Chain A
Amino acid sequence: MLQHEDECRQLCSFWIDETLFGVEVSTVQEVVRAMEETPVPLAHPAIRALINLRGQVVTVVELRACLGLPVVKEKAVYVVLRHQGELFGLRVDRMNGVIEVPEAEFESAPEAAGNAQASLVRGAYKLEKGIVLEIEVERIVTAVGVKSAA
């Protein structure tokens, strides 16, 4: 992916509390409302449940847990991501839509920040008002997939 100064990328953005996060839009298959869930015993604490997405069983990851935040009970939204041929869902608070971010406004995350957020976030883009933190989907999978209670 060429990154020229005047290039723009598109991120699918959503809110966790008052922070705006985003993922590369091409990784997003769809966004669905919260639906009936089946919990998965013994799984990684950030794995919330399984859902039935039109006949496919999709694992839903609780993004708040990945970020080290407490989980809230309110109805949330699932962002269904495609990664290496498989689907998984990301449970977030509210959607914000697809936004364009200019490459010039990118600042990569400081190295070895240590907290859970930093391990997922690859960097931030400055917006007119505020910033959006870009999450790298690969990092979610690494964080959640490897470690489990088996």
Chain B
Amino acid sequence: MSLRVFTRTHCSRFRRGHDDPPGQEGPRLKLTHPRRRWRIQKTTGVCPVDDMGEILVEFAAEARESLVEVEAGLLELESDPTDLGPIQVIFRAIHTIKGTCGFFGLSELERLTHSGENLLSALRDGQCKFNEDMASTFLDLLDVLQLFIDQIERTQSDKGVDSGDLPERLQKLREDGIAAEAGTATVKAPAPEIEITDDMAELLREAQMLPSVNDGVSEEEPAEAKPVEAKPVEVKAAPTSKPPETKATPAKKTAPKAERARRSPEETSVRVATELLDRLVTLVGELVLARNQIVQRVGQHPDPVLTPASQRLDHIASELQEAVMNTRMQPLKHVFSRFPRLVRDVTRLCGKQAGLVVHGETTELDRTLIEAIRDPLTHILRNCIDHGIEAPEKRTAAGKTPQGTITVDAYHEGGFVNIDIIDDGGGIDVQRLKDKAVSNGQLTQAVSDQMSQREGLDLMFLAGLSTAGEVTNVSGRGVGMDVVRSKIEGIGGTVEVSTTLGKGSKFKLKIPLTLAIIPALIARCRDQRYAVPQANLEELIRYQTTKDADKIEVMAGCRFYRLRGRLLPLLWLESILFPDREPTERDVWHIVVLKAGEHTYGLVVDAVLDAQEIVVKPLGGLLESLNIFAGTMITADGRASLILDPTGIAARGNLSRRSVGVRLLDAEVEEETTDSCALLIFASHTDGRMAVPLDQITRLEELPKDQVEVVGGCSVIQYRDEILPLANVSELLPERRVAPRPLDASIDPAQRDTLHVLVHSHGGRQIGLIVGRILDTVPGSATKQRGRAGREGVLFTFVQNDRITEYLDLQRLVQTASPGFYDAAA
């Protein structure tokens, strides 16, 4: 049906030639092939459909791109209605679309764009001023144009899309605008077309009509366009200026406008189908595999001819891979371009005022990942405006500017693309989050009290948690942030948030650069090979059970490795993959230190084999739910292998977002029912062994000694955004009457760089108790046999592991150290 329409219109245009009704000046098609024209006239409805279809698709793609520019132009115009530069851009885009509609017989779309073009030309000529209504109407026009373009792509016709009353509204705005302006302004510039000669007009129209040649013509356009552009500007300055004059004046105003009008010369590009690009990527992937095989083999069997050739192959393949990967990279501009409109719409909806500042939109990211982050970014922005930025009155009352600012900053760092979204709003009230979680039953009050600022903030990513007072149209249903996090983590990235109450918040997204070919470390576990992405790899440790035994701490059945002042939780790959079997005892452990989001841990593997660049292949639908694997690959010897997902492994190993101490706390809460609470055994150099109930200890930390400061006579240290007062347990106790058996000089706090600290909290206050060395945790049943206490501060003694251990009165010690500790909060 649409084909026939095309034919008729097409033919009718040719037949009509120059008799177009006035106002209907579409581009004139000059057919150079009379024979083609004859063929079309004779055809009864069958057109060279494929060609037409292709051109239409091209047109749709071009139009889409123009619409992005139009939107940007409209928003610029809205913020500065006096700057008429964007109008040129918008006008040209709409004019081009309108012209092409004529060519294809898309009459509906033509009618719509025509009314838009009329209003734009009135604006351009200064016949009316740009106002709020026009902005909204133009944006509506944009939306409808999008619908048209979608429809055209799908059905190759513009039927089925309803413009509604848009043409009439545009018409009315034009009339009202002109009337209003005629009342105030005395200067009226004649339409540029009258000043331009017919030849120039012809050239302009033909230039605009040929879509794909636009780039080439862009150099000439500004020259042509200058007289046209200069008009609106010059009108305001000197009503009597004529075109020949303006051509000579390189007025400061025209130059920047011309800049904007001209397409940026850096964008010399070609259009390539995405399928072709994907195919290239796949082929390069296979090439990388074959290259790995050859290089490996030649490495083992050197050959005077093959070796240099394989080295060249290695080098070329790497470069080719990098280049092809780059084809998949797109600037983030593609995602960020929608943000100004989004901010505008949401601020209007929420009654807030916010400005958007974007940095780093040229930062590039793999095409597939760009799509994946679009929704999460949109949601975070919505959240910022809806919950972060306060209402203008509230802001002014707080001494802030009534308009808030949201900054989006994108940059490359360490193999990742970082996107920071910062707002200067009211910040996130962590206490409210905690309270909401407790009232939702997602958290117990006890755990909530023990949580640090960072853990509390993390609650915002829990499903169903929304502290919004009312559920607004924009957000507040509490289903947003958890989806954001899972989507970002699904592509191998991380989301973190930090906030300052009253000042604002910052969302930090980290996205891996690309997923297709990644450098990986091959590790062996039980005769199978697994790949570990190097992006998560921090370091490798070789641990010998015989020599380095003191580096291992055991707490509540979990092993930790002491890594330069940090306790690194250890997970055994073997135990994770084969939970039913006992891990094999080995003398040497190979520990792979991985960082997955917030968790850093050591993964113990049988052996570390090789570092390779591997082609990531999808896991497949049947295996997708296994979160410990990120994908599959083919090793250099042709076997299929699995790629580990460090985040999934951390989750599986129960490295939950809460810190170790809280987890221990949870585990012990279950034990409490048997009325025997577990004990934490520690020792000091001079005082022998001591014990405290484990549930009184929030956290075990190792803190650097040189960061201890003395404030008002007390030792303190900066800890997790707070100040932690410190007290040495040995100093809190009176001296023992009988000196205990000396333990080990290495646990003398005076001789180490770090302090072992037991953190005890109560009612929002915290105190750190310095001990010599943490030894073990034991079940409370160990205290069945109790002996008499020998000094104050000790409740009783008992024997544990053949040693006498003092069970301390923790509350009393804490009160000695900090007398007001247990008082109700002021």
- The answer to whether B622 touches A145, judged by C-beta atoms less than 8 angstroms apart, is yes
- Nearest CB of chain B from residue A8's CB, rounded to whole Å: 31
- The answer to whether A61 touches B289, judged by C-beta atoms less than 8 angstroms apart, is no
Within 8 A of B (CB), among A86-112: 86, 88
- The answer to whether B622 touches A61, judged by C-beta atoms less than 8 angstroms apart, is yes
Partner of B640, one of A51, A61, A88, A144: A51
Within 8 A of A (CB), among B602-632: 617, 620-629, 632
Indicate with 1 or 0, residue by residue over B307-337, a CB within 8 angstroms of chain A CB atoms.
Answer: 0000000000000000000000000000000
- The answer to whether B623 touches A141, judged by C-beta atoms less than 8 angstroms apart, is no
- Nearest CB of chain A from residue B467's CB, rounded to whole Å: 31
- The answer to whether A38 touches B641, judged by C-beta atoms less than 8 angstroms apart, is yes
Main SS of the interface on chain A? mixed
- Per the bound structure, the CA–CA distance linking A40 and B620 in Å amounts to 12
- Nearest CB of chain B from residue A65's CB, rounded to whole Å: 13
Is A29 located at the chain interface by the 8 A CB criterion?
no
- The answer to whether A52 touches B639, judged by C-beta atoms less than 8 angstroms apart, is yes
CB neighbours (8 Å) of B627 from chain A are: 150
- Nearest CB of chain B from residue A148's CB, rounded to whole Å: 4
- Nearest CB of chain B from residue A20's CB, rounded to whole Å: 25
- The answer to whether B638 touches A42, judged by C-beta atoms less than 8 angstroms apart, is no
Is A50 located at the chain interface by the 8 A CB criterion?
yes
CB neighbours (8 Å) of B579 from chain A are: 42
Is B633 located at the chain interface by the 8 A CB criterion?
yes
Indicate with 1 or 0, residue by residue over B776-812, a CB within 8 angstroms of chain A CB atoms.
Answer: 0000000000000000000000000000000000000
- The answer to whether B578 touches A41, judged by C-beta atoms less than 8 angstroms apart, is yes
CB neighbours (8 Å) of B638 from chain A are: 36, 52
- Nearest CB of chain B from residue A89's CB, rounded to whole Å: 10
For B641, the closest partner residue in chain A by CB is: A38
- Nearest CB of chain B from residue A133's CB, rounded to whole Å: 22
- Nearest CB of chain A from residue B637's CB, rounded to whole Å: 10
Is A127 located at the chain interface by the 8 A CB criterion?
no
CB neighbours (8 Å) of A58 from chain B are: 620, 640
Is A146 located at the chain interface by the 8 A CB criterion?
yes
- The answer to whether B577 touches A145, judged by C-beta atoms less than 8 angstroms apart, is no
- Per the bound structure, the CA–CA distance linking A49 and B639 in Å amounts to 11
Is A13 located at the chain interface by the 8 A CB criterion?
no
Partner of B623, one of A43, A83, A84: A43
CB neighbours (8 Å) of B648 from chain A are: 150
- Nearest CB of chain B from residue A63's CB, rounded to whole Å: 13
Within 8 A of A (CB), among B105-159: none
- Per the bound structure, the CA–CA distance linking A61 and B623 in Å amounts to 11
Q: Which of B620, B621, B622 has the most CB of A within 10 A?
A: B622
How many residue pairs between the two chains, A and B, have CB atoms under 8 Å in the bound complex?
Answer: 75
Indicate with 1 or 0, residue by residue over A121-148, a CB within 8 angstroms of chain B CB atoms.
Answer: 0000000000000000000010011101
- The answer to whether B622 touches A47, judged by C-beta atoms less than 8 angstroms apart, is yes
CB neighbours (8 Å) of A146 from chain B are: 625
For A38, the closest partner residue in chain B by CB is: B640
- Per the bound structure, the CA–CA distance linking A40 and B629 in Å amounts to 10
- Per the bound structure, the CA–CA distance linking A26 and B629 in Å amounts to 31
- Nearest CB of chain B from residue A84's CB, rounded to whole Å: 7
Partner of A50, one of B289, B577, B578, B642: B642
- The answer to whether A57 touches B632, judged by C-beta atoms less than 8 angstroms apart, is yes
- The answer to whether B640 touches A150, judged by C-beta atoms less than 8 angstroms apart, is no
Indicate with 1 or 0, residue by residue over A6-50, a CB within 8 angstroms of chain B CB atoms.
Answer: 000000000000000000000000000000111111111001011
CB neighbours (8 Å) of A36 from chain B are: 638-639
CB neighbours (8 Å) of B629 from chain A are: 40
CB neighbours (8 Å) of B577 from chain A are: 41-42
Is B483 located at the chain interface by the 8 A CB criterion?
no
CB neighbours (8 Å) of B634 from chain A are: 52, 55, 57
Is B528 located at the chain interface by the 8 A CB criterion?
yes
- Per the bound structure, the CA–CA distance linking A84 and B622 in Å amounts to 12
- The answer to whether B623 touches A148, judged by C-beta atoms less than 8 angstroms apart, is yes
- The answer to whether B621 touches A86, judged by C-beta atoms less than 8 angstroms apart, is yes
- Nearest CB of chain A from residue B283's CB, rounded to whole Å: 10
- The answer to whether B633 touches A40, judged by C-beta atoms less than 8 angstroms apart, is no
- The answer to whether B578 touches A40, judged by C-beta atoms less than 8 angstroms apart, is no
- Per the bound structure, the CA–CA distance linking A39 and B577 in Å amounts to 11
A residues sitting closer than 8 Å to B (CB atoms) are: 36-44, 47, 49-52, 55-59, 61, 83-84, 86, 88, 141, 144-146, 148-150
> What would 24 A/B residue contacts be, using CB atoms closer than 8 Å?
A37-B640, A38-B528, A38-B640, A40-B623, A41-B577, A42-B626, A43-B623, A47-B622, A49-B640, A51-B640, A52-B640, A55-B289, A56-B617, A57-B632, A57-B634, A61-B622, A88-B622, A144-B622, A145-B621, A145-B622, A146-B625, A148-B626, A149-B626, A150-B625
Task: Given contact pairs A55-B289, A56-B617, A144-B622, enumerate 20 new A-B contacts (beta carbons under 8 Å).
Answer: A36-B638, A38-B641, A40-B623, A41-B578, A42-B577, A50-B640, A51-B640, A55-B634, A57-B617, A57-B620, A57-B634, A57-B640, A58-B640, A83-B621, A88-B620, A141-B621, A148-B626, A150-B626, A150-B648, A150-B652
